[in-house]
Each structure stands twice: as C-alpha cells, then as structure tokens.
A and B are shown apart, each in its own frame.
Chain A
Amino acid sequence: MSLKIGVPSKGRLMDKTFEWFGSRGVEMRRAGAEREYSARVDGADGVEAVLLSAGEIPRELAAGRIHLGVTGSDLVREKLADWEEQVTALAPLGFGFADLVIAVPAFWIDVDTLDDLDAAAAAFRASHGHRLRIATKYHRLVRDFLREQGVADYQLIDSQGATEGTVKNLAAEAIADITSTGETLRANHLKILADGLIHRSEATLFAAHAADWGNGARPVLQNLAARLSLDLPGPL
C-alpha cells in the first residue's frame, strides 16, 4: 500500500511544489515523457505522486482518492462545504499567494467599503431594475462573505476567466477575483475595496479525512512527515 499525494500538474504551482519537497529531501519529478501526468518520488518510501489539475485536487481529497494534496487554500474553501470537516491543512507552503478581493471601477469615488457597495447596490437596483452584478468564479466564498457582512441587492454572475474585463464589457458592475499584485485590476481601471479582502490564499498541503489510512498508509505518512519536519495533528 502506498500513500498517494496529489500535486498540481503544470506551471509555477507544480515547479514550486517540486521545489518545496525537493528542498526537504523528497525528490519529485515528472515520469517519462513531458506530457505524461505521473511523477516519480525519491526519498520517501511508499509515496506515490499523482499529477492533477489544482482545481480538481479538493474534490479528489474530499472523495479520499488521494491521501494528501497540494492546492490553493482558496480552492479548498470554495469547493468543499465545511472544508475543515473534510480535510486538514498540514502546512502552508509559502508560495502561490493570492488575495480574493472585491473590486469596483476606480471612478466610483463614492464606493470604498462594503457599506458603500451595499448602499450603491440599493440605488443601482432602484434605477436599473436589476441587482448589482458581481462577476466571480468563487461563488461560495463571495456569497458567504457578503451574507456575513450584510450586503444585499447584488447578484453573482459566473465568470471563469478574464473576470477583470467583465465590467468594461457590461457583463457586471463589480468583480470578486484573486489578485497577487493588483496590477491586472489597475490595468482594467478597477480598485479594491478597503474591507473587501475575502481570503488570503496560499498553496497548502492538505490531508484527506476520507482517504484509507489503514493498510500501512499511516506509517508512510509519519515517515514523510518526519522527513518534511511537519507536525501531524492528533487524529493523523
């Protein structure tokens, strides 16, 4: 029995993940051809790496098909209901930082806070006949945040990419999206609300509660954790 760890399958997230494990003595590298989605792991017995889209890793963790997984903390919170009941965050990995924020057109000088957004939404609905639209792909996180903050008269519009352009294209009045430097937002004439930070995301190593931790998986994890200098929480 081996322990399966889901690793992002491409880009900087994959490279940084390999680097993080590598610097702790666990070498991961793509197996075989460039396009093959499997990886070899050296330096930790019984660990098998599976390359997956970062967006699918939360689902695979929830289903217990992988024991561990590296993905953004934003994706886990967005995709898993009651995420803390389904996975445990073992370690923040120190890369993949991104803030999920609410942004509005920069020329809205009357809107700088959620309180303003709420009041502007009420006026907008009265004059335009529909709720103020916020484009996002983070529906759960944004809705929970706005409900908690008591913002009303808005609606969420699904946007899976190029979200910053939706305002100019008249598909939305505001957006909720991830940003690391804010540059894309500024280039699209948007500004972040002062209290509009919904979540500060970071690539994180998660353990799946639903995975099969019998059959020798637990000792493999304990070995790996020792190698990576991780503290395992009690139940693991």
Chain B
Amino acid sequence: MTGAAGAAARRAAERIAAERLFARFQAAGALPVDAEILLPADTLLDLYGEDIRARAYVTADPLEGEMMLRPDFTVPVVQMHMAHGAEPARYTYMGEVFRRQEHLGQRAREYLQVGYELFAREAPEEADAEVFALFAELLAPLRLRAATGDIGILMAAVRGLSTSERRRAALLRHIWRPRRFRALLDRFGGRSPQPEPRAKLLAALTSRPLDRMIAAAGPAIGLREADEVAARAAALAEDAATPPLSGAEVDALDDLLDLRDTAPAALGHLRDLAVDLPSIGAAVDRFARRLDALARHGIAIEGLDFEASHGRTTLEYYDGFVFSFHAEGAPELPPVASGGRYDALTRVLGQGRSIPAVGGVIRPGLIVALQEGAA
C-alpha cells in the first residue's frame, strides 16, 4: 500500500491504538472527557506567552476573536475540573492536537493524544507513582527508555539561595528558559560583568537625581510611566549593591543542573548536595518518598534514569515530578509519552483555587510507527 491509501490505513491504525489506550485508562478508573478543538487564544497566550503562536494554529472568529486549534488537552481539562470537578478525580481523553510546524520536515502537524490526569490533594508522591506506573505498564511491550526528573527540587534550590528576593524571583521566572537562567545566574554570581549600558547608568545614578535623569532622557510616552521607570532604576541600584551569590551556592546549583544518574544514585547525590543547599531538603524527601511509591507500584527504580534538568523547556508548565518515554533505537522520534506534575497551573487557571495535579499523554501514532518499524 502506498500514498493516500497507506496514509488512510495508517490513520485508522493510529485511532485503533488510541482507543485501546483510552479504554485502558478508563479501566484504571478515569472518567472519559472531551474538549473543544477551537480554544480561546487568550488563555493560552497568557499562559505560554507569544511563543505559542509559533507552535499553534491561530484563527479568528468574527465574534469570539482569536482562537487556537487545541495544542494540548491539559488546559481545557484543568479548566473543566476547576469549574466543577469532584475530588479526587481521574480523567482520560483522546483526540487530535494540532502543532504548527515552522520548519520543513517530517514533524506532524496533527496527531492523536491519549491522556490521563489525576487531581488529588492527598499523597502527591503516591499520585505521581500511580500515573508513572500506569504509563509504564501500558507502554511495556514497546521496551521504551524512561527518563524522570523533578523541577520541584530545582525550584526549591532557587528559593533557598541566599540573595535578594528579586534575584530569586528572576531566576524562578526563567526556570523553563535555560539560556536566560544561565545568564542571570552568571551575573548574580559575579561571573559575568554588568552590561556596559547598565554600568553607565549605575554610575550616573550616584551623582544625579533619578527623576531629573528620566525627564532629561525624553518625554514620557506610552503606558509605562515615569514612576515605573524610576522604580526599576532604583531596583537596579539596589541590586548592584547586593553581594554576589557565594561560589559554593553557584557550584552546588550547577552540580544540581547537571545531575544525571540512576534514581537511587541521584538520591544519594542530592542528599549530599542538600548540605550546601539546605533548602532542597524537603523536596529531596519528596523524591525519596516517590521512589518508595514507585517501587511499591512495581517499578524497578535501580535502573530508572533521573535528570535534574528534565522538563526544562519552554512551553512547559511542570513544577514537580516529570517523566518521558523514548524509543531508544529512534532518537529522531519525539517522546512516545510524557507528563508530570503541574500544581501551579491549576492555581493560574483556577481563579483563586488550586489543586495538586499530575498527568501525561501518549502519542498512539508513534506507537504504530514503532510497531511498523519492528515488524
């Protein structure tokens, strides 16, 4: 079979694979839910920023304004749960998601996702383990390689840095943008110099009144007002007087960022790191409890990979446990499944309410591709 007929048969095979997963998730106790394909663009833009425009199809509705073709299910499912969900709750869904591709190549523009999401206030490590173990069981025949991580440990490390609140907030804001995070860390650690214009400004601020400098620079145009400019200039002066992060702290953070090992070895390493970064202690304890829970669910944790920086990519929202399943022999394929904990997202979308949540998605299209490759 070639061409259109082959593609049609392939799509049908993918749907059959998806329905099988959807049934398995329901058998595991999840309530089947569905979501609109056209989503209001505002929510997604506020959440992901302008970058989502390069990844999602945007269209315009004459009455509703900008709409996006569903780039994933998490946002509508979280909104649905926050509006009228019971607790705890398990949901499953199945359907197409759409991803705009700005580069030529084989990346899919639309593909099926089957997902499982668990909203529960109690025993978060147990919930993490339940989701991971369920995915591992469903994917076991494919012999994929699983990788795990924990953004929560990284965030705890940043929150505990002995520096100003402003610097900690700046680093936290860029946890998911490794390049800007690195640049900030190097500057806060005194490892890269002030940019030249900043140095000039700081020198000028010591001899001239702030409001006069602003007035002399030009008329105050636009929505961002002179007092906002003054507030940030004052903050810059204050920041310049903040001592650099200690070398020991930056080294420990670097060590953490680079940590890749099997889970038990990583746990030992993290316990050592907690001596220099005591703020990660509670997060490391959670990691240890999660490993125990995973072991109880039958996961062989001795060989489980842990990467502290796993899940640090833009357009992500995970803030705790993260995981993915890759085909080892096909490095060009995206992960067959991925997921993680996203407690903060429920707070953003919950209009004042929040609930701990963890979940993930599987791409049945990739399962079919791997089975075909093996056949």
Residues on the B chain within 8 Å of A113, using CB:
195, 197-198
Contact between chains at B179 and A106 (CB < 8 Å): no
Closest chain B CB from A42 CB (angstroms): 38
Least distance between B221 CB and chain A CB atoms (Å) = 5
User: Given known contacts A107-B220, A152-B173, is B195 in contact with A194 (CB within 8 Å)?
Assistant: yes
Residues B217 and A144 in contact, CB atoms below 8 Å apart = no
Chain A 98-127 against B: per-residue CB contact (8 Å), 1 yes, 0 no? 000000011111111101101110111001
**Residue in A85, A108, A147, A172 whose beta carbon sits within 8 Å of that of B229 in the complex:** A108
In the complex, the answer to whether A107 meets B218 with C-beta atoms within 8 Å is: yes
9-residue interface stretch from B44-52, B121-129, B249-257: B44-52
**B236 at the A/B interface (Cβ < 8 Å)?**
yes
16 sampled A-B residue pairs with Cβ under 8 A = A81-B102, A107-B220, A109-B229, A112-B201, A115-B195, A127-B228, A140-B54, A144-B54, A150-B179, A152-B173, A152-B177, A153-B49, A155-B50, A168-B222, A172-B222, A189-B218
Main secondary structure of the interface of B (DSSP, over half): helix
Are B213 and A109 in contact (CB-based, < 8 A)? yes
Give chain B nearest CB distance to A175 CB in angstroms. Answer: 10
Q: Which residues of B have CB within 8 Å of A120?
A: 224, 228, 232
CB of B59 within 8 A of chain A? no
User: Which of B45, B102, B196, B232 is the one whose CB lies under 8 Å from A123?
Assistant: B232
Q: Please classify how large the interface on chain A is, using the bins under 10, 10 to 19, 20 to 34, 35 or more.
A: 35 or more
Using A149-B180, A168-B221 as known contacts, say yes or no to A107 and B214 having CB atoms under 8 A apart.
yes
B residues within 8 A CB of A191? Answer: 218
Q: B43 at the A/B interface (Cβ < 8 Å)?
A: no
A191 CB to nearest B CB, Å: 8
Which A residues from 57 to 108 make CB contacts under 8 A with B?
Answer: 81-82, 85, 105-108
Assembly CA distance A150 to B49 (angstroms):
11
Interface centre among A113, A128, A150, A168 (most CB of B within 10 A): A150
Interfacial chain A residues near B86, Cβ < 8 Å:
none
**Interface pair B50/A156, CB less than 8 Å apart:** yes
Q: A107-B218, A109-B201, A167-B221 are in contact. Are A82 and B104 (CB under 8 A)?
A: yes
B183 touches A109 (CB 8 A): no
Alpha-carbon separation in the docked complex, A6 to B205 (Å): 54
Whether the Cβ atoms of B50 and A146 lie closer than 8 Å is yes
Is the CB of B164 closer than 8 A to any CB of chain A?
no
Task: Give per-residue flags for A175-192: 1 if the beta carbon is below 8 A from chain B beta carbons, else 0.
Answer: 000000000000001010
- Residues of chain A with a CB closer than 8 A to B50's CB: 131, 143, 146, 154-156
Provide the residues of chain A in CB contact with B104, threshold 8 Å.
81-82, 85
Segment 171-225 of A: residues with Cβ below 8 Å from B:
172-173, 189, 191, 194-195
Q: Is the CB of B201 within 8 A of A110?
A: yes
Closest 4 CB pairs of A and B: A150-B180, A112-B197, A106-B218, A150-B177
Specify which chain A residues have a CB less than 8 angstroms from the CB of B223 in the assembled complex. Answer: 128, 170, 173
B103 at interface, CB cutoff 8 A: yes
- Bound CA–CA A144/B53 (angstroms): 11
Q: Enumerate chain A residues within 8 angstroms of B369, measured Cβ to Cβ.
A: none
Determine how close the nearest CB of chain B comes to the CB of A138; give it in whole angstroms. 13
Beyond the given pairs A105-B220, A150-B181, A167-B222, 7 more chain A to chain B contacts, judged by CB atoms under 8 angstroms and listed by A's residue number, are: A105-B221, A107-B218, A108-B217, A131-B46, A150-B180, A152-B173, A194-B196
Q: Mostly helix, strand, loop or mixed at chain A's interface?
A: mixed
| Least distance between A197 CB and chain B CB atoms (Å) | 14
Question: Is B217's CB under 8 angstroms from A107's CB?
Answer: yes
CA separation between A127 and B184, bound complex, in Å?
23
Q: A123 vs B236: C-alpha distance in the bound complex, in angstroms?
A: 13
Pairwise interchain contact B229-A82, C-beta atoms closer than 8 A: no
Q: Which residue of B lies closest to A154 (CB)?
A: B50
Asked if B375 is at the interface (CB within 8 A of a chain A CB), the reply is no
B170/A147 in contact, CB under 8 A: no
**In the complex, which residues of chain B have a beta carbon less than 8 angstroms from the beta carbon of A172?**
222
Residues 321-373 (chain B) with a chain A CB within 8 angstroms: none
Whether B197 pairs with A194 at a CB distance below 8 angstroms is yes
Residues of B within 8 A of A82 (CB): 102-104
- Interface pair A109/B217, CB less than 8 Å apart: yes
Using CB atoms, name the residue of chain B closest to A125: B46
Which among B51, B197, B217, B232 is the interface contact of A143 at CB below 8 angstroms? B51
Interfacial chain A residues near B218, Cβ < 8 Å: 105-107, 189, 191
Cα distance A140–B231 in the bound complex, in angstroms: 32
A150, B228: Cβ atoms under 8 Å? no
CA of A115 to CA of B179, assembled, Å: 12
Separation of A144 and B50 alpha carbons in the complex (Å): 10
The residue from A81, A119, A194 contacting B103, defined by CB atoms under 8 A apart:
A81
CB neighbours of B184 from chain A (8 A): 115
Chain B residues contacting A123 (CB-CB under 8 Å) are 228, 231-232
Asked if B219 is an interface residue, CB under 8 A from chain A, the answer is yes
- B201 and A106: CB pair below 8 A? no
Q: Give Cα A138–Cα B179 distance, bound, in whole angstroms.
A: 23
Give complex CA distance A219, B155 in Å: 62
B51 touches A147 (CB 8 A): yes
> Does chain A have a CB within 8 A of B226?
yes
In the complex the two chains form, what is the Cα distance from A118 to B179 in whole Å? 13
B233 within 8 A of A: yes
How far is A112 from B199 in the complex, measured between Cα atoms in Å?
A: 11
For residue B166, which residue of chain A has the nearest CB?
Answer: A119
CB distance from A12 to the nearest CB of B (A): 30
Does B215 belong to the interface (CB within 8 Å)? yes
Given the interface pairs A107-B215, A107-B229, the reply to whether A152 lies near B174 with Cβ below 8 Å is: yes
